[in-house]
A and B are shown apart, each in its own frame.
Chain A
Amino acid sequence: MQNEIPSQSQFQSIPRQSIVAPKLESYQTDGFFDELVDEHTMARPDAEMLVQLINRIPAGELLRRQRSIERSLYQMGITFTVYSDNSGTEKIMPFDVIPRIVSAMLWHHIEAGLRQRIRALNRFLSDIYGDQAIVNDGIIPKELIDSCPAFLPQCVGLKPPRDVWCHITGTDLVRDNTGAVYVLEDNLRCPSGVSYVLQNRHVMKRNFPQVFGASRVRPVNDYPSRLYGMLRSMVPWEIDNPTVAVLTPGVFNSAYYEHSFLAQQMGVELVEGRDLVVQDDFVYMRTTDGLQQVDVIYRRVDDTFLDPEVFRKDSALGVAGLMRAYRAGNVALANAPGTGVADDKVIYAFVPQMIDYYLGEQPILANVPTYVCQQEEDRNYVLDHLDELVVKAAGESGGYGILIGPHATDDERAEFAAKIRENPRNYIAQPTLQLSRVPTLANDTIEGRHVDLRPYILYSGPDDVWVMPGGLTRVALKKGSLVVNSSQGGGSKDTWVVAEAGQPVASSNS
Chain B
Amino acid sequence: MTRIPIFTLSPTMLSRVAESIYWMSRQVERAENHARFLEVTLNLILDQPEDVVDPWEPLVQVTGDTAWFLEKYGPPNAQNVVKFLAFDLEYHSSMLTCLRAARENAKSVRESLSSESYEQLNEFYHFVQHATSEQLTDPTAAFFDSVRRHALMWSGTLDNTMAHNKAWHFANVGRLLERADKTSRILDVKYFNLLPRIEDVGTAVDDLQWSTLLLAISGFEAYRRDHHLVDLEKVVEFFLFHRTFPRSILSCVAGADWSLYEISESSHETVPREARQKIAALKHRLSRTNVKEVLAGGMHQFIDLLQGELNEIGNLLNHDYFNQPSST
Contacts and interface: CB of A to CB of B under 8 A. Distances in A.
Residues of B in contact with A, size category: 35 or more
A287 B118 CA distance: 22
A76 interface: yes
Contacts of B107: 77, 251, 256, 260
Given A286-B16, A288-B18, A289-B267, A279 B328 contact: yes
Contacts of B112: 264, 270
A285 B14 contact: yes
Residues of A in contact with B, size category: 35 or more
A286 B111 contact: no
A264 B166 contact: no
A288 B166 contact: yes
Interface in A250-309: 250-251, 256, 260-261, 263-264, 268-272, 274-275, 277, 279-280, 282, 284-293
A75 interface: yes
A241 interface: yes
B123 interface: yes
Interface stretch (B1-9, B50-58, B243-251): B1-9
B301 interface: no
A155 to B, nearest CB: 26
A288 B165 CA distance: 13
Contact of A77 (B11, B12, B119, B270): B119
B119 A284 contact: no
B270 A290 contact: yes
Contacts, number: 103
A275 B11 CA distance: 16
B14 A284 contact: no
Contacts of A246: 111
Contacts of B268: 289-290
Nearest to B13: A288
B287 interface: no
Nearest to B268: A289
A246 B326 CA distance: 21
A243 interface: yes
A88 interface: yes
B327 interface: yes
A282 B122 CA distance: 38
Given A256-B107, A286-B326, A288-B321, A243 B12 contact: yes
Interface of B: 1, 3-4, 6-7, 11-16, 18, 100, 104, 107-112, 115, 118-119, 122-123, 126, 129, 166, 263, 267-268, 270-271, 321-322, 324, 326-328
Interface of A: 74-77, 88, 241, 243, 246, 250-251, 256, 260-261, 263-264, 268-272, 274-275, 277, 279-280, 282, 284-293
29 contacts: A75-B122, A76-B115, A77-B118, A77-B122, A88-B129, A241-B6, A246-B111, A250-B108, A251-B107, A261-B111, A264-B111, A264-B112, A264-B115, A272-B16, A275-B15, A275-B16, A286-B324, A287-B15, A288-B166, A288-B263, A289-B13, A289-B268, A290-B268, A290-B328, A291-B328, A292-B3, A292-B12, A293-B1, A293-B3
| A-B residue pairs, 7 tightest by C-beta | A264-B111, A263-B111, A289-B268, A260-B110, A288-B321, A77-B122, A270-B111
